[in-house]
Amino acid sequence: MIDPFDLNEPRTRIKICGITTAEMAFVAVDAGADAIGLMLAEQSPRCISWEQAEAIAELLDDDCPPVAVFCDHPIERVERWPGPVVQLHGDEDPEYVIELHRRRPELLITKGFMFSIEAVQKWDRCEALHAMLVDGSAGGHGEAFNHNELGVLMPQLETPVILAGGLNSENVAEAIARVRPFAVDVSSGVESERGVKDADKIRSFCQAVEDTDDVLREEA
């Protein structure tokens, strides 16, 4: 499997989250997505069953890994996910992450949380964590936050940052330019209605990210 957190390739990775069908998963892959988010959090309108998530995951190639998204689930359930990556998006603490890593050392763990300087610094110190997903809300609500504040922190951070919250094809270029994240994550920004993905919006978002990277390389 290609390491989804390989920092050697200088480009912005793309995660399309809240995929609910195989059809939209294939659209995202064809558009250039680097990861597919599968919601297993029951409170999300994009939640699918464990069986549905496994079925979609099995269709994906190794270079676009499925990311199972959990929210305050028992650690015994999370560690059973057969895929290579999980995202925790609840009130899990660093001790939870450390224990999950102890049980499944090969599992790549990302942690999603609402932006604050204190939260970013706390999770950056968690050595068991592979990436931080910095959001503007509890997740999936399309709420942005002050990207300038995160941008100032970026040179100090050692953990890869995935930028989320209110992103779409119209504003992702500015967000990338301000933060220079390892990756961007989008869900509601590529939907025609809440919980329903839109193929054209997925393609437009991925193209906008690629175009932004091209511009930034030319300016460097």
Q: According to the 3-state scheme, what is the secondary structure of the chain?
A: CCCCCCCCCCCCEEEECCCCCHHHHHHHHHHCCCEEEEECCCCCCCCCCHHHHHHHHHHCCCCCCEEEEECCCCHHHHCCCCCCEEEECCCCCHHHHHHHHHHCCCCEEEEEEECCHHHHHHHHCCCCCCEEEEECCCCCCCCCCCHHHHHHHHHHCCCCEEECCCCCCCCHHHHHHHHCCCEEEECHHHEEECCEECHHHHHHHHHHHHHHHHHHHHHC
- The pLDDT score that the predictor gives to residue 114 is 94
- The pLDDT score that the predictor gives to residue 142 is 59
- The pLDDT score that the predictor gives to residue 63 is 87
CA-to-CA distance for 15 and 64, rounded, in angstroms? 9
Higher pLDDT, 140 or 219: 219
Quick one: what percent of the chain has pLDDT higher than 70? Answer: 93
- The pLDDT score that the predictor gives to residue 97 is 98
Residue 111 in contact with residue 87, Cβ under 8 Å? yes
Mean pLDDT of 97-106: 97
- pLDDT tens digit sequence for 27-53: 999 999 999 999 999 989 999 999 999
- pLDDT tens digit sequence for 49-98: 999 999 999 999 888 999 999 999 999 999 999 999 999 999 999 999 99
User: Is residue 135 annotated as a catalytic residue, yes or no?
Assistant: yes
How many CB atoms sit inside 10 A of residue 187's CB?
A: 26
User: Is residue 17 annotated as a catalytic residue, yes or no?
Assistant: yes
- Chain CA centroid to CA 7, Å: 15
- The pLDDT score that the predictor gives to residue 146 is 87
- The pLDDT score that the predictor gives to residue 141 is 56
pTM for the whole thing?
0.93
Q: Which domains occur in the chain, in start order?
A: 13-219 (3.20.20.70)
Residue 70 in contact with residue 86, Cβ under 8 Å? yes
Q: 1 pLDDT exceeds 50?
A: no
Catalytic-role residue among 47, 64, 126, 135: 135
- pLDDT tens digit sequence for 168-189: 999 999 999 999 999 999 999 9
CA-to-CA distance for 88 and 111, rounded, in angstroms? 5
Name which of 11, 24, 5, 34 is nearest 220 in CA terms. 11
How many CB atoms sit inside 10 A of residue 54's CB?
A: 16
Tell me which of 3-7, 52-56, 144-148, 215-219 is least confident: 3-7
Residue that the structure tokens 């609840």 belong to: 90
Q: 139 pLDDT exceeds 60?
A: no
- The pLDDT score that the predictor gives to residue 4 is 64
